Amino acid sequence: MPRYALLIAYRGEGFHGWQRQPGLMTVQEVLEDAAAKLNGGVVPTLAAAGRTDSGVHAEGQVAEVEVSAELPPTRLRAALDFHTRPHPLSVRAAAFAPEGWSPRFSARMRHYRYRILNRPARPALEQGQVWHVPQPLDAGAMHRAAQHLLGKHDFSAFRAASCQAKDALRTLDRLEVTREGEEVVIRVSARSFLHHQVRNLVGTLHPVGRGQREEEWPRAVLDGRDRRAAGQTAPPEGLCFMGVEYEEKLGWQAGPA
């Protein structure tokens, strides 16, 4: 049967995360049920580049599916996009999956973005897509503190208690904090992440931006390897899975405009 790579976007507040769970609406369930209509009614299992939590969004999630219907990628994309309605999910593009390729294990870099709406007024159009922090934040101080966390380290202080990774050693390639109008935007890149790592990094940079902690504090937390010493876990709604890089050229196809 043909194997396809899928490029997917979704609004996280409409789902209880990526992974299928009994009695809960998840991204995996919606996509697998849609794919079953192209697979003789048999529900296939989708593998994804990353399992996002409840409330976390995606612009560039990547998944793999195998179905019995032999369709050009553009027709597969359109069919899945149709069958996932009315859920807040879009199959942006599809491609034939290369031999031996895996959306998870073939990934060379994953990119996330976290948005903080930093103004007194609560969000309106941005509701559900940002963390609202009404107190002023110093994005420059947050960025300078973030640079001390780059590189290969034991990120035990920034992993969730439920994290199932065998060890906490990770290489953080990018942790950039910028102010963009009323928003403070954090962009994070690494080959792989621990559970809640990005949200815990943001939650630890937050008191630095508030002036409640010194710029050296996040590095001291990192070196201490104690999750209890770090900041809060930032809310999920500000986080978006932006995309994945692979060595393979996937040749995404979206179809005619």
Catalytic (active-site) positions: 53
**Token pair of 60 as six digits:** 């560039």
Burial 161-174 (b: 16+ CB within 10 A, else e): eebeeeebebebee
229 contact partners, CB below 8 Å, separation of at least 6: 157, 221
**Token pair of 162 as six digits:** 């439920």
Report whether 53 contacts 236 (CB < 8 A).
yes
DSSP state of 81: H
Cα angle: 240, vertex 157, 169; to 5 degrees: 80
